[in-house]
Amino acid sequence: MALLALGLNHTTAPVDLREQVAFDAARLPEALRHLRTQFMGVREGAILSTCNRTELFLAVDAGVEPDLIGWLAHFHGVDAAVLSPHIYRFHDLRAAQHMMRVAAGLDSLVLGEPQIMGQFKEAMRQARDAQATGAELEQAFAKVLTVAKRIRTETAIGRNPVSVAYAAVTLAGRIFTDLKTCHAVLVGAGETIQLVAEHLAGQGVRGIDVVNRTLANAETLAAAVDGYAWPLDALGDRIATADIVIASTGSPVPVLGKGMVERAQKIRRQKPMFMVDLAVPRDIEREVGDLDSVYLYSVDDLNAVVEEGLEQRQEAARQAEQLIADALDDWQREIRGYRAVDTIRALREGSQTICEAELTRAMKALEGGRPADEVVAQLSRNLMNKLMHAPTVALRSAAEQGDLSLIEAANRLFDVSETPDDEEPS
């Protein structure tokens, strides 16, 4: 089997081009079937398509180089000349290495992000459903995912925050022993707050209120995390129920003042309140941090956490690369072992044929009345002569031609030593 990986990602192509070659889920089965029928020698295929990458993983006949760029361009109605400079292509173990790095999050926009492993599994499931894959690609994917899981469990690749949204939730977990008992209020409904909401929901936070100037945007986000939407004028009432308050709006002035938080804390009887201001300019007045039982962090505080987390993930990434290198060494040894399979099979089949023929001859001799000891002795001589004939001729010819490599190989293969030159062979 030859393994082939081809695609483009956030490091090789701009977002507008990535959008043009992304595969819609509804057309993916059609694409997988077309990919296999379009090219001779393409036996199996899978497609991974996310917002940051589109990649084709194929099992092909050795030496086959299908025009995948042309196919990809034609399928999506893109000029192949425009697409080509942004495409990368890997073969065999290099393709396997790339797949391992992708599945482990080492090739992601956010180093170590965990979603890609699930997307990788989904790509294989979709290929399986479309009957576009088989034993070869299934085996390759299984090896890739095994390495990715080891990286997840044996390194800290995903354990440290590398985004302010993740850092905010991580810090909340340090303030409260169990986030599942906490109520959160999110102020704003932009991309950053959306990420915060996803992380909080992933941690099982008890309830999430989304407060925003445009209520419709708050409703959309709240629905995605099973929360509740509120208009901005309800902010004072909502934070009175909040253990966690995270704000990121585009307001030119603070939306949360010291007086509003003081009133909320009186209602809460000074229970701890964790607050994060992710906005520039600030959404929460600086003086709020002076209040008792209020833990206020700014985006600058979180950036320090992010830098620390990134350094730790980079160290984990180095460990992950070593795990991948070890896995590829094992895979390469396995591939080399496969190369001997056909030779071993042919050798066994040829020997079996000789043995069966000699055994038949011996049985006839016994039936004819020849003494058993003579028949067994003759069987032994015949087997030795016939099994050793071809190796003996090849070794003698190699010696006459000065090809010592075959003789050395025979010594290793049969664990024998050469007879010294000054001794007569027996």
Q: Which element (helix H / strand E) includes 81?
A: helix 80-83
Distance from C-alpha of 113 to C-alpha of 313, rounded to nearest angstrom: 10
Burial of 174 (0-12, 13-18, 19+ CB in 10 A): exposed
* Architecture of the domain delimited by 2-154: 2-Layer Sandwich (3.30)
pTM above 0.85, yes or no: no
Give which of 47, 190, 195, 180 is closest to 115, Cα–Cα: 195
Beta-strand pair 88-91/273-277: unpaired
| Poorest-pLDDT segment among 98-107, 217-226, 306-315 | 306-315
* Residues with Cβ within 8 Å of residue 307, at least 6 apart in sequence: none
More reliable by pLDDT, 114 or 220: 220
Which H or E run includes 172? helix 164-175
Query: Residue 234: which pLDDT band, with cuts at 50, 70 and 90?
Result: very high
Q: For 284-293, what is the mean pLDDT?
A: 94
User: Taking residues 6-13, what's their average pLDDT?
Assistant: 95
Count how many Cα atoms sit within 13 Å of the Cα of residue 203 in the half-sphere of its side chain. 26
Q: Is the pLDDT of residue 115 over 70?
A: yes
Task: Kindly report whether the peptide bond that precedes residue 29 is cis, defined as omega within 30 degrees of 0.
Answer: no
The yes or no reply on domain 164-307 and CATH 3.30.390.10 is no
> What distance in Å separates the CA atoms of residue 122 and residue 253, rounded to the nearest whole number?
45
Rounded Cα distance between 204 and 347, Å, is 62
Give φ, ψ of 66 to 5 degrees.
-65, 150
Q: For residues 108 and 363, what is the distance between their CA atoms, to the nearest angstrom?
A: 69
pLDDT at 423 over 70: no
- The pLDDT tens digits of the residues spanning 177-197 come to 899 999 999 999 998 899 999
Q: What is the structure's pLDDT at 426? A: 41
Kind plus residue range of the DSSP H or E element containing 91: strand 88-91
pLDDT value for 77: 96
Active site residues: 51
- Work out the number of other CB atoms within 10 angstroms of the CB of residue 380: 12
Kindly report the backbone phi and psi dihedral angles of residue 94, in degrees, each rounded to the nearest multiple of 5, phi listed first. Answer: -65, -35
pLDDT tens digits, one per residue of 131-167:
999 999 999 999 999 999 999 999 988 877 677 888 8
Distances (CA, A) of 214 to 94, 219, 230: 50, 9, 9
Q: Quote the pLDDT of residue 114.
A: 82
- Residue 425 pLDDT class (50, 70, 90 cuts): very low
**pLDDT mean across residues, the chain:** 91
The pLDDT value recorded for residue 270 is 94
Digit-coded pLDDT (tens) for 22-57: 999 899 999 999 988 889 899 999 999 998 899 999
Residue boundaries of the structural domains of the chain: 2-154, 164-307, 341-414
